Structure formats: structure tokens, C-alpha cells
Amino acid sequence: MRVRVTLSKADRRLGIEAIRAKYALCMKTAVSAKARGWFYGENDLSRHLRLYIAPEDRLLSRADLARKFGVSLPVAGEGKKRGWVCPGYGATRLNRPSSLERLEKIGLEELLDCARIGALFVLRRWCARDQNKIGPFELSDLTQSNMLTFLELSADARIEQRGFRINVAILTATNFLKRNVWKHAEWRRPDV
């Protein structure tokens, strides 16, 4: 979480190097803090903390350096060139939940339920409009198509909302029927 840190009057009189040393800031942030009188910091200020790499650690590979300091591979590569790393840099990008974790959190039964609701809604509406041009489709065909779409959209955060999943299922089932009905245009429902 970003916190706005305001410098006191005594701190504003300090030089850039003194501000940088006191708050453990990088040079760019220290210069802007001196000019503005405040800076954005983290609660733990880990993003602005520099860890200097020992000369023997610079001989390590990028992967070993990343493991040792707990940073990503690109940050470790840059740190190897510069001689220091910021362990909190890019932490918000690294902690995003993966798309499969989202689907696991929702659960398979809930996903199947939303897929069936969307498919049934579309089948009822399609049958009410024109009963003869449905084609030899089953509910499982539409449900499977909906589940594949859920998997494709799993990276989107809105997939956790039930209403969004049902709307996606309705649109996917409608597109499935529109795509496949023309293939079976000559097929007629057998009269019972």
C-alpha cells in the first residue's frame, strides 16, 4: 500500500544525501522529496531499500541471485550489472493470482452450474423462436463450449462474479448455436 510521507521542516533543510540516507530512498525519490516536501513510500519502505551485492555474489548466476535476494530474474540481472537490488521492486506484479487459482477458488461445480444455466436459457429461447431449426445438439455440447470459454477467460478478474459467468455462458451458447445451425439446416425434429 502506498503511503504519502511528508517531510518535517527540519528534514526539508537536510541535503539530498541526508534525506536519502535517513529514509533509505533511491536518488530519484530523494531529489523529488527534497523539491516537493513529500514522497510516496510503502508501509515497510522495502521498495526503496537497496541491498548491495557483495563482489563474490556478483559471480552467481541470475537464478541463484534471484533466489538469494527474493527478486525476479530481470531484477536480479539488473542488480548484477548495477551492484545492488531493491527487494520490494515489482512485488505487486509478482503476487497476482494465477488464472487456474481463480478457477480453483470458484470450484468446478459452480462453473458447471453457471454453464448449464446459460445453456438452458439459450436453448429455451431458441426453441421458443423456431422449434424446427435446432439441430442435433445436446445440453452437454453447449455446456462444454461454455466451460472452454470460462477457461479462456480465467485470467480476467471478473470471472469470479457469478453474473459475469452466466452472461458469458449465454453469449457463448448463442454463438455456438448460430455457428452450427447452418450446418444442420436440413435437419428437422422428428415428430413424436
Confidence (pLDDT) at 43 = 47
- CB crowding 136-156: b at 16 or more within 10 Å, else e: ebeeebbbebbbebbeebbee
- The CA distance from 126 to 134, in Å, is 7
| Residue-wise pLDDT tens digits, 150-171 | 888 887 888 889 999 999 999 9
C-alpha grid cell, residue 144? 462444454
Confidence (pLDDT) at 167 = 93
Confidence (pLDDT) at 11 = 85
Residues of the chain with pLDDT under 50: 1, 43-45, 92-95, 192
How large a percentage of the chain has pLDDT more than 90?
A: 12
Other residues' Cβ atoms within 10 Å of the Cβ of residue 85: 24
Confidence (pLDDT) at 169 = 93
- The CA distance from 8 to 190, in Å, is 84
